[in-house]
Amino acid sequence: MPEFLPTAPYRGTRDFLPPEMSVRTQVFGHLYEVLERRGFLRYDGPVLESAEIYEAKSGQEIADQQLYTLTDRGGRRLALRPEMTPSVARMIAGSAGSLQFPVRWYSHPNCHRYERPQRGRVREHWQINADIFGSESANCEIEMFELIHDLLGGIGATEDMFVVRANDRTLLSSVLTDLVGVTEEQLPRVFSLVDRWEKHDRAALAETAAEIGLSDARFERLTETLGAGSALLDEIPAEVREQSNLVSVLGGGAAGLVTFDPLIVRGLAYYTSTVFEVFDTSPENNRALFGGGRYADLAGLFTSQRIPGIGFGMGDVTLFDFMGTHGLLPEPRSEVDVVVIPVSAELSDAARTVAATMRRAGLRTSTPIELRKLGKELSRADKAGARAVVIVGQEDWDAGNVTVRGLADREQRQVSVDEAAGTVTELLAR
């Protein structure tokens, strides 16, 4: 017996057959519309980038554990992009001289990370990225929070289905150093500890804190401080709060769109101030869906010009889990709206002529590739999801007519070839 290659995709990647691809296309189409209504322009970039840009700014977890790397024949170290933000920062820096800042850009790349496949995590995913470059205004934060609500609303989500939780790393730094007593040297590792706060039990957190060098008393103080929620803002010095865009918008333009949460840190190293995550409120899917934040000068890897940015990435895996949990996924579209069937092979050219008129009218139309008996073609059209067929018979065609039949009610009528597209359009509108 011959040995065949496996039909399953590489672990952690996915095949999308036409029904699932139809659902994805509909969902992403709604998201594109929302982004473009708000003035975001679409861009794209290469899937291969220099490994250095991720090792410099994406953080240890991605650079050391999740990066797919290769060395090309010229000895250059490359990586399959694990995220889009460093790439867009490179593109912004390279074209800064021709741009009118601030700019709103979005993309929909596929990204690759070597992760342990599980619910919400795979090794290849698609991600809607939205960024604003060239402004430090708090209006950028407001724009991001409004956009998140618009995007989720665009796919049918209501306000009770999700919550946007936000923090500011400068505020958290002040809290940790001034209130808890964390040293500057300990700060990066404590940030990482806070980022995992809701994912580990108290014993594991205490053990990590001890490894960092926090005493039992400081760990208790850290626990108490992080549990204060929004009340913690009152304990932060006024001069620190005044520098925070997040504090500014919490009491103004973003009121009701976002809540303050000191546990939001984000694991990527390039975030500098505002950070945020979107959470599903359903107990069946109680997890972060996506997130983002502000980066003061990620473009500084590529240029001396300082170009601040803010943005987020919305991954497809958690997005579709969210939609499935709340019953928001659309039904796959049918193959076609109408099938034009010749009753004999000699009428195939005539059928293609009629089909062309249907397509010009905006109808998704097919004709048989291998002609079968009329009954079988009607059955196949029904299974393809067509709601109507146009039958081309010899006598009708000689008289300039065709027969339009509805597949739901089985009613049919003879119409002229010129009237056929309009008749089918009316039938589908019922």
| 131 annotated among ligand-binding-site residues | yes
CA 179 to chain centre: 37
Whether residue 43 is annotated as binding a ligand: the answer is: no
Q: Please check whether residue 310 is in contact with residue 141, taking contact to mean a CB–CB distance below 8 angstroms.
A: yes
Both tokens of 364, joined, read: 């998704």
What's the length of the chain?
A: 430
Report whether 100 belongs to an annotated binding site. Answer: no
Helix (H) or strand (E) holding 300: none
> Can you tell me the distance from the alpha carbon of 278 to that of 288, in angstroms, rounded to the nearest whole number?
6
Q: How many CB atoms lie within 10 A of CB 43?
A: 19
**CB burial of residue 219 (10 Å; 0-12, 13-18, 19+):** buried
User: Which of 175, 195, 193, 262 has the alpha carbon at shortest distance from 227?
Assistant: 262
- Residue 259 assigned ligand-binding role: no
The answer on whether 418 is annotated among ligand-binding residues is no
Beta strands per DSSP E along 248-400? 259-260, 274-280, 288-295, 309-315, 338-342, 365-366, 388-392
Tell me whether residue 85 is annotated as binding: yes
Half-sphere exposure of 29 (CA within 13 A, CB side): 7
State the DSSP string of 27-73: HHHHHHHHHHHTT-EE----SEEEHHHHHHHT-HIIIIII-EEEE-T
Cα three-residue angle 284-285-289, rounded to 5 degrees: 165
CB proximity list for 276: less than 8 A, separation 6 or greater: 144, 145, 164, 165, 166, 167, 258, 264, 291, 292, 293, 312
- For the chain, state the CA radius of gyration: 28
- Helix and strand numbers, DSSP H then E, in the chain: 16, 17
Q: What is the DSSP letter of 99?
A: -
Q: Has 114 been labeled as part of a binding site?
A: no
Which residues are known binding-site members for L-histidine? 83-85, 113, 127, 131, 266, 270-271
Which residues are known binding-site members? 83-85, 113, 127, 131, 266, 270-271
